[in-house]
Every structure is written in C-alpha cells, then in structure tokens.
Amino acid sequence: MLRIIIILFALMSYAQSQNLETIISHALSTHNSLKAIEQRLKVVDDSIELTQHFTNPTLSLSVGDIQLDDLTNRSIEPMQFTSLTFQQKIPYFGKRAANASLAKAQKDVVYGSLEEAKVALVKEIKLTAYTIWEVKQKLQVVDKKIDLIKQSIELHTIYSSSGDSAMMDITTSKLRFLEFKIAKSKIKSTFDSLLKRLSYLSNQDITSVESHVDPKEPKTFDEYFSELQNNQSYKKELVKIKEKNSLVKVRDLASKIDPFVSVGYFYREAFADYVNITVGASLPIYGSESIESEQARKEVLQAQLQSSDLYEKLSSDLAVSYSNLQSSYEIYQIIATQSIPEIDHMLELSSTMLKNGKNLILFLNMQENKLSLEEKKYMAMASYKRYEAQIQALVGETK
C-alpha cells in the first residue's frame, strides 16, 4: 500500500512541476485546439476521396400515354408505355484530377494552419513561463525588501533620538513596509493567474515550472533573417497561392461540357418492348464560367500580394524584436557585470565601518538598492527570453 502511495505521489509531482520542454511536448500532443485542426485534416482527406466519385445517377419511373376515358387499359395503342430510365453524368476529362488537386491544396492550407497554431501555442507557453519566472523572482526580492524594512524600523526605533524627525523616519519606514506588502499581494495574484494560464496552454495542472533563464549573446540579425522564410504563417500564405491556382484550373475546366448518358427501358403491354438511349450535355453559353475563372485569377493575385505584404511585416517584426532582444541583453550585462559588482564593493567597504545605528541604516538602504538592481536584472533576463521566444516563433520554431 505504501508503495502505491509513493508512486501516486511521484506521478502527481511530475504532473504538477515540470520543465519547460516537457510542458511544450505535452501541449503539442494533447491540446484541444490542435486536435480540432487535426480533425479538419481528416475531413479534407474525405473531400479528396470524394473528388474521385461520379455524381449520383438518376433513376426514374414513367407511365406514358394514360387514356383518360379508360385509365386502367394499357393496350389501347403502341404509344402507351411504362419506362425505367437510368441517367449518369460523366465529368469532362481532367475535371476529377483538377478537383483532387484543389482538395489537396486545401489540405495543405489546413496543415499550414496546424503548424501555425503549434508555433503560436509554443510561443504563448514560453512567454507565460518566462513571465512566471520573472514574477517568482520579484516575489523573492519583495520578501527580502520586507525583511530589510523590518530591520530598518527596529534600528530607527532603537537608535533614533526623540523628536519629530525620528518619528517621521519611523512612520516613513512603516508606510514603505505596507507598500511592499501590497506589492507582494499583487505579485502573488499575478503569479497565480499566470499558473492558471499555463495550465490551460499546456493542457495539464501546473503549480510550478522550471525555466532555464540564462541570456546568451544573441546571434546576428542576418542569421535570424535567413530563417524567416520558415515562418509558418508565411508558408501558409504561399500554399494559399497554390490553392488559388488550383481553383483557376477547376474554374477553367468548368466551361467544358459534362456529357450525360440516359438509358431507358420501355415496357408496352400489348406491343413489343424497346430501349431508348439519350446522350446530352449542359451548354455553358451564358459566360458564367468565364467570369468565375477571372475571379479565381484575381484571387491568385490577391494571395500573392498578401504573401508579399506578410513577409514585409514579418521582416519588420523581426527587426523590432531583435532590437529589443539586444537592448535587454545589454541592460542585463550592464547590471550583472557593472552595477551589482560596484554596489557589492561598496557594501563590502561599508561593512567595515558599521559602528553605530546610523551606519547600519545606511547599510540596509544600500542593500535595498542592490535588491532593486537585482529586480531590474531579473526583468531584463525575462525580457530577453520573451523576445527570444518571439523571434523563435517568427522563424517557425516549435521547440
């Protein structure tokens, strides 16, 4: 029994606290939004199969030349008959193949939507996870600031001389203490909301997430730009051009006549039976098909313009995201390699000069300043990873 409890506890822990890669993998394989698009793909597969089928034939029963003065007598004259007629429409050569090509192109568009949705889902998971990491760091910072404020209040109470100035210092510190408590409450609420959002995005219950946040020097813009053609939205737009070209072919073939064959068996009660064969076709004489073909060609041009416009927008988005990525990295580097070491050095020097309460209070203020710098560093780190995630989405990554 104990063994079963341990296994269940391990499984619950695995379900609740996972690394980012595992969360993404689970979401891609189980999320309902992706499952819905996969179901659409199956529907399109059926459409492809349907393009190879003929239209349903027509079977009709006719009773001809009914004499009103003797309704039941079917042997009055040779024109009286009962017939069974079978009619089948035969598509013009190439129409079924063209319809199949169109259906396959439509499937490619749906598949493009699936890949596009995967990229969007992964991007949102990353953005949420990195924001969770940032908020978690802020919670730790605000807790440390609260501890420092508590120490500051105690020192002000012990070492400050009586008077309005001392009371003002103590009151100011208490007000800051309350502000930090309010800030912590808001941060905690944001943290809980982000976990709920991540649970939805990953299609599982998440109470904590392990995110690797370690800014590396960005690749060059040209390296990212060379991968921009892998953007899933852009690739889908290119497939739409193929779909519209397939539609043009279908519309052009629509002007070709579809013949039909009708075979009828005529039964006559007192006379010889006979068979009647009819061959016919619809006549595209009003020009509707030509107008529809022209419409399809205009749709091709529209799709080409849309793909070009999208690529220009993606290029602009990449440039903006890359600029922000570089800025975040530079801010992180300045704080991590210059600002924090400098204030650490000052704290080290100050620690040797702690002789009275006033120096202790100044020392605590410097520690609080360091915490503020660390908070900015965490913000820059999370910002870097979020912009990196946006760039990864722009170049079509789903990892």
Query: The domain containing residue 110 runs over which residues?
Result: 17-394
What would the mean pLDDT of 256-283 be, rounded to a whole number? 91
Asked if residue 7 is part of any domain, the answer here is no
Asked if residue 8 is part of any domain, the answer here is no
Asked if residue 221 is part of any domain, the answer here is yes
Q: Are 158 and 361 in contact (CB under 8 A)?
A: no
Which pLDDT tens digit goes with each residue over 274-329?
A: 999 999 988 888 888 889 999 999 999 999 999 999 999 999 999 999 999 999 99
Q: Per the structure block, which two tokens stand in for 279?
A: 């061959």
* Burial of 112 (C-beta count, 10 Å sphere; 0-12/13-18/19+): buried
Asked if residue 11 is part of any domain, the answer here is no
What's the pLDDT at 73? 85
Q: Is 215 helix (H, G, I), strand (E, B) or coil?
A: coil
Q: Per the structure block, which two tokens stand in for 307?
A: 């793909």
Residue type, 239: V
Asked if residue 31 is part of any domain, the answer here is yes
Q: What is the DSSP letter of 112?
A: H
Which pLDDT tens digit goes with each residue over 209-223?
A: 888 888 999 999 999
| C-alpha of 164 from chain center | 60
Asked if residue 186 is part of any domain, the answer here is yes
What's the pLDDT at 286? 83
Domains identified in the chain, total number: 1
Tokens 């179901």 belong to 39
- The CATH number that applies at residue 374 is 1.20.1600.10
- CA 178 – CA 135 distance, rounded (Å): 19
Asked if residue 316 is part of any domain, the answer here is yes
Model's pTM, two decimal places? 0.83
Asked if residue 52 is part of any domain, the answer here is yes
